[in-house]
Structures are given as C-alpha cells and as structure tokens.
Structure 1
Amino acid sequence: MIKEILAVFRSDSMMDRAYNRSYDMIYLTQEMFKTAKDVLRYSEHSNTNIDVNDQDIEVNKYQREVRKDVLKHLALEGTDNLSSGLVLVTLVIDLERIGDYTKNIVEIAENHPEKLFAGKFEQEVVKIEKAIEINFQKTIECFKNADEEAAGYLVKEYKWISRTIDEILMSLVRGEEKTLATGCTVALALYIRALKRINSHLRNIASSVVNPFHRIGYKPKKNKDK
C-alpha cells in the first residue's frame, strides 16, 4: 500500500508534506522509546537527557498536521486518493500511541528510581527489548523503501514478542516470581505491557506497507485482492 501512497504523495505538495511528517514521527518515537527504556532499566535515577514529554507534544503536533493536510487534499482533490489518505491517518495514530506508551514508561521510571530488574525473566525481557529496537529500525527502513517483502517478514516476526510477554504477565499474576518486591513486580508488569502495545503498533505500521487499508494490523493474505 505504501508504494501507492508514495506515487500519490510525490505529485501533491500537501500529501508529500504529510508523508514526510509521518516519517519524522517514526524517528521521533524511536528516540523516545530508547530514552524511556534506558532510564527505566539502566539508570539509578529518573532524569532523562531528552524531555520525553516535550517530544510527545511534538508527536501530537505532527499527527494534527498530517490529519489537516490529508483533509485539505481530499477536500480540494476529491476522494480518488481516499484510501491512501486513510492509511496515512491510521499510521500516525499508531505512532501517536507509541509516543503515549513511551511516556508511560518514563512515568514508571519516575516512581521506580532504581534500575528495574526483571528477576528470573531478565534474559527474556532483554531479548524482547533488543528485538523491538531492531524491529523499530527495520520498520523505518520498510516504510522508507516501501519494501513489501521485508514488511511481510516483520509482521510475522513481531508475533513471538506478544506471546512471550503474555506468558511473563500470567506468571507474575500467578506469583511465580518470588524474588521481586511488590513495587518491582508491578513496575515490571506495567513495563512489559507497554512493550507489548508498542510492538503491536509497530506491527500495524509494517502491515501498512504490504496490506490494503482494510487489512492494516493483520497478516498479509497470499491473494492481495481479498
């Protein structure tokens, strides 16, 4: 779908600006995620070098600008490119939600000033964090290059992360991790839940590269016409 969007947007200044804004949002939310993760997991205090709240405001501003440009384009040019406009608006909603979840991670850090350790789940959580960072970068590359093959792979690759997080969450609910204090257990549950949601929104973005509008968020069908 992104290939069709690029063809449309490069011929229209408002839509091209909207597309570029969405691209800016991806980079900004990636930086927000790295900052939020590092301050919670690898810092003894809750001070960040980058003001995530200010970045979140910037993401929200970009989202409004994209919506405005898409609406103006459709009002002036008609509905021939309606599907492309809807895809872009949906995509920036996913990016805005990623910004919200990274801000939530910082809020956890502010109330848990020590490094958050995951107990017996530490290795699994580190693996999840690294996978999301890698997938974040790969999603950016897929979006930039309209690489449908790579996007199809990423949609499948994201699935194990959600399953693993669900398993950890249910284990915490059952009280199977005995070494963590109550505050640490709650912070860990909130954190990995945020990771799961960030992962899901990244999956939606990757799926927009390969899927038509009505199938964004779902795995690609072999027959793309369905």
Structure 2
Amino acid sequence: MFRQLYSALTSENSIDQAYADLTRMLEHGAWMFSRANEVLYSTVAAEEVREPLYERDRAVNELERSIRRKVLRHLTVNPGHDVAICLALMSVAKDAERIGDYCKNVFEVGAFYSEGFHVPRYQQPLDEMADRLTGLFKELIAATRDSNEEKAHGVISATREIRGSCDDLIEALLGEEETIEFHEAVAYSLLARHYKR
C-alpha cells in the first residue's frame, strides 16, 4: 500500500524521468555507433568491442521498458492527462531502441568483413555519412535534453538528406557496370541500409 501511495505521489516526475531515460538511450546509441564504426574501420578489434556493445544494447532495451513503465504509471495516476505527449514519447523511445539494433548491424559488417574498402565513389559518401551521423547524435542528444524543437527539426531534416544519399548509393551499386568484388559491394549496400535507418 505504501509503495502504491509513494508511486502515485512521485508520478508527476515520471515523465521528466522518462525524458532523462530517453536521453540516456541516445547517449548509449551514440557510443555504440562510434564503437561500431571503429570496428568497421579496423581501428579497434571486434572482440574488444563486442561484449561492451551488446551490454549497452541491453541497457538501451531496459531503458525503453523503463520509459514505457513510467509513462503508463503517469497515465494511470493522471488519466486523460498528456496522452498525446505520452504516446509520442513511447513511440520515440521505440525508435531510439532500434538505434542499438542498427549499431549492432554496423558492428557486424565490420566484424565479418575484413577485406577493406577500395572503391572511393562508394566509400567516400559512406565515410561522410558516418561523420555526419556522429555529429547528429550530439545534436539530437542536446535537443532531447533541452527539449529544443528547432534543433530536433534540424536533425530530422539532416537525416532525410542522408536517407536520400543512401538510396542513391544503393541504386548506383545495383546499376554498377564496372567490376567490384562481390563481398565489397555487399558491405557497401549493407552499410547504406543501416546508415539510412
């Protein structure tokens, strides 16, 4: 009984706590993205990164569940209050949880493909995307932490451009007339798909 009363009294902070959890999810995602790309570029061994990366992914999954619990607690104590915000928060948390999965996918390309990248017309745009995404993580974390809509819209706009570049790269690969090693073409296309997401 006391626990339920305490939970009800502190539920006003549940949404603030859920936003803090979302920020932590994004921070974990940024860390995972950086480590995955270090493995991809062979600056760090895959075995050195594997367990910490998967550990962070488990933390991201737990934070997503924590957000869901906090939002449901808030709505239970305050029925009909902030419903749209709560639903949006749960949706964004689900998207943030997927970031961990895509980071693991980038890591796996780096872990499984070790032949190197030799076609600048594909590698250079992917390098630029990775750099841009690293910066966008920082911007997104700041926008989330500060509830800054203008920054958030800037990130959304930038990711649309990246998605278009990924589609262009995949289309170019599918129409490639010169000889590219099959495994290298697969690596490029996988990276383009993962960066797009």
TM-score between both structures, scaled by the size of structure 2: 0.86
Instruction: Indicate whether 1:141 and 2:142 are aligned.
Output: yes
Of all paired residues, the percent bearing the same amino acid is 26
Counterparts in 2 of 1:107 and 1:20: CA distance versus 1, 3 Å:
same
Q: Distance in 2 between matches of 1:14 and 1:44?
A: 39
Q: Is the 8 A contact 1:169 1:189 kept in 2?
A: yes
Q: What pairs with 1:94-113 in structure 2 (closer than 5 Å)?
A: 94-113=95-114
TM-aligned CA deviation for residue 190 of structure 1: 0.6
Q: Is the 8 A contact 2:11 2:73 kept in 1?
A: no
Counterparts in 2 of 1:108 and 1:70: CA distance versus 1, 3 Å:
same
Instruction: Note the residue ranges of structure 1 that are not aligned, 5 or more in a row.
Output: 1-9, 198-226
CA root-mean-square deviation: 2.1
Q: Distance in 1 between matches of 2:162 and 2:28?
A: 22
State the SS of the aligned residue for 1:48: helix
Q: Distance in 2 between matches of 1:90 and 1:84?
A: 10
Which structure has the larger Rg?
2
Q: Distance in 2 between matches of 1:150 and 1:54?
A: 29
Q: Is the 8 A contact 2:57 2:100 kept in 1?
A: yes
Instruction: Indicate whether 1:162 and 2:148 are aligned.
Output: no
TM-aligned CA deviation for residue 11 of structure 1: 8.0
Q: Is the 8 A contact 2:38 2:44 kept in 1?
A: no
Name whichever of 93-102 and 159-168 sits farther off: 159-168
Q: Is the 8 A contact 2:129 2:162 kept in 1?
A: yes
Q: Is the 8 A contact 1:39 1:45 kept in 2?
A: yes
Q: What pairs with 1:49-60 in structure 2 (closer than 5 Å)?
A: 49=49, 51-60=52-61
Q: Distance in 1 between matches of 2:95 and 2:167?
A: 21
Kindly provide the amino acid, as one letter, of the partner of residue 67 in structure 1.
R
1:89 aligns to what? 90
Q: What pairs with 1:1-226 in structure 2 (closer than 5 Å)?
A: 12-43=12-43, 45-49=45-49, 51-176=52-177, 178=179, 180-197=180-197
Q: Is the 8 A contact 1:142 1:148 kept in 2?
A: yes
1:20-39 Cα offsets, whole Å, 9 max, x none, are 11111010011001111110
TM-aligned CA deviation for residue 159 of structure 1: 2.1
Q: Is the 8 A contact 2:42 2:110 kept in 1?
A: no
Q: Is the 8 A contact 1:22 1:92 kept in 2?
A: yes
Q: Is the 8 A contact 2:11 2:77 kept in 1?
A: no
Kindly provide the amino acid, as one letter, of the partner of residue 34 in structure 1.
S
Q: Distance in 2 between matches of 1:136 and 1:103?
A: 16
Q: Is the 8 A contact 2:46 2:110 kept in 1?
A: yes
Counterparts in 2 of 1:190 and 1:81: CA distance versus 1, 3 Å:
same
Counterparts in 2 of 1:106 and 1:153: CA distance versus 1, 3 Å:
closer
Q: Distance in 2 between matches of 1:169 and 1:156?
A: 21
Q: Please state which structure has a larger fraction of its residues in helix.
A: 2
Q: Is the 8 A contact 1:21 1:66 kept in 2?
A: yes
Q: Distance in 1 between matches of 2:44 and 2:135?
A: 25
Alignment size in residue pairs: 187
Q: Distance in 1 between matches of 2:71 and 2:11?
A: 14
Q: Distance in 1 between matches of 2:184 and 2:36?
A: 17
